[in-house]
Homo-oligomer: A and B are copies of this chain.
Amino acid sequence: MNLRKHVSLNINIRGNGQSATLAINDRCKSLMGEGKKIYNFGLGQSPFPVPMPVVNALKLYAHEKDYLPAKGLPALKEAVAGFHKAKDNVDANPENVLVGPGSKELMFLLQLCFYGEIVVPTPCWVSYVPQARILGKKVRLMHTSFEDKWHITPRRLAEFLESEHDIFRPRILVLNYPGNPDGQTYTLDQLKEIAEVARKYELILLSDEIYGQLHHKGEHISVARFYPEGTIISSGISKWCGAGGWRLGTFTFPKDLDWLLDAMASVASETYTSVSAPIQYAAVHAFRGGVAIERYLWNARRVLSTLGKECHHILTEAGVRVHPPEGGFYLFLDFTPMADRLSKRGITDSKTLCERLLQETGVAMLPGSDFERPYEELTARLSYINFNGANALTTSETIPIHDVLPEGFLQQMCPDTIEGVKLIAKWISGSNKD
């Protein structure tokens, strides 16, 4: 019997491959296995370890074995609501929190449950469109521009919504700031204006603030402050808490969206059931925070902002269009200024750009097309995370908290990151000579 002749797959699944961010990681590992020196700017993983109090909590609760409620451990829902109250000045209620195995899974459940349009500004996180494809649906893309810092403006949003004959259709707009893949955020005034537009058109906002605590100045602002009745805040421990592999994300709903929360929890109870119990108990300590976690965040921000600025400087000098980073650990590079030169080398799209860069220098980035940018646009995401975060953090902790990091810190702590970015600059200028 040969079961291959029976291949019978849902047509929405065929040929999808795996998530772009996971795929680039596997690719890098395999190239390194061949003995090549690789600068992996591809994966979006925090370089820092999980803070010690949170790791210790996991050890303490390692024996917890009961199935937990589908919506989440009550103490964790309370901690998450408390977190958003304290950090974001939002009146969050524990009853309106949903805990899931990563905010990616929660986003999938949202797409599965919500019957309406999901609008995503691009460049956007890599999984929105593949998730929709799996479900046989479409997300509505809204392209932004370099000039608008790769984010939407209140005016463009209003125009977009007005352009429909059906302006009150059920619709969720996804916002993500500090942004993946762009590292940019919104100002207080912009958020206020976006909130006004959303309120006017009765638009639900999914505000993905998973990088909020990695705002480089620690000044993250949630749009939920200005639009509490219509904003779902997405968060989790993957980015600011370094625990991507632990798989825990949260959605905090406004009261009037309980119908959506309940529907998602219902699907959760029939699929993943609930998030791993020991992980949930440990996460309580992450969201409760405290002095140790604040110090961790302070140092993480200082390292990331110093490194991000330096990468930005090197790339700008080389002629790449890129905005100075404001949060998180990404830069979104635009090679349009050297399009002619690249074209002469046979590079006319972002995929080829990244493939050639990888082959010729060992530098791995994700092409702009993975973030739903037009195929021919010469953009790419750089994650400046290929350094030993534990060492960098320990060293940063020895330096007085309001000082800038001394000269030489980056060379010592993040040598591969600096070297990899310089290789991009060199590769680009090499293309000058063609």
Contacts and interface: CB of A to CB of B under 8 A. Distances in A.
A264 B219 CA distance: 40
Interface in A207-232: 229-230
19 contacts: A1-B230, A8-B114, A8-B115, A8-B116, A9-B263, A22-B69, A22-B273, A26-B69, A43-B67, A58-B59, A58-B62, A58-B278, A101-B247, A101-B272, A104-B270, A131-B270, A247-B273, A247-B277, A248-B276
A256 interface: yes
Contacts of A7: 259
Nearest to A199: B1
Interface stretch (A12-20, A356-364, A372-380): A12-20
A2 B58 CA distance: 40
A115 B266 contact: no
A18 B230 contact: no
Interface of A: 1-4, 6-11, 13-14, 16-19, 22, 25-26, 43, 45-46, 49-50, 55-56, 58-59, 62-70, 101-102, 104-105, 108, 112-116, 127, 130-131, 134, 170, 199, 202, 204, 229-230, 242-248, 254, 256-257, 259-260, 263, 265-267, 269-279, 282
Contacts of A254: 3
Nearest to A14: B263
A4 B263 CA distance: 14
Given A8-B170, A18-B265, A279-B276, A1 B245 contact: no
Contacts of A134: 112, 267, 270
Nearest to A73: B245
A242 B9 contact: no
B263 A275 contact: no
A17 B279 CA distance: 25
A374 B293 CA distance: 55
A114 B9 contact: yes
Contact of A1 (B13, B229, B270): B229
A240 to B, nearest CB: 13
Q: Closest 10 A-B residue pairs measured CB to CB?
A: A245-B277, A8-B170, A3-B256, A19-B269, A18-B269, A58-B62, A59-B59, A8-B115, A108-B271, A105-B272
A9 B260 contact: yes
Given A1-B229, A66-B244, A67-B43, A273 B19 contact: yes
Given A101-B247, A266-B18, A276 B273 contact: no
A134 to B, nearest CB: 6
B131 A271 contact: yes
Nearest to A127: B270
A10 B67 contact: no
A29 to B, nearest CB: 10
A4 B69 CA distance: 25
Given A1-B229, A245-B65, A13 B112 contact: yes
Given A22-B70, A270-B19, A276-B247, A55 B63 contact: yes
B63 A50 contact: yes
Nearest to A71: B18
Contact of A276 (B8, B101, B257): B101
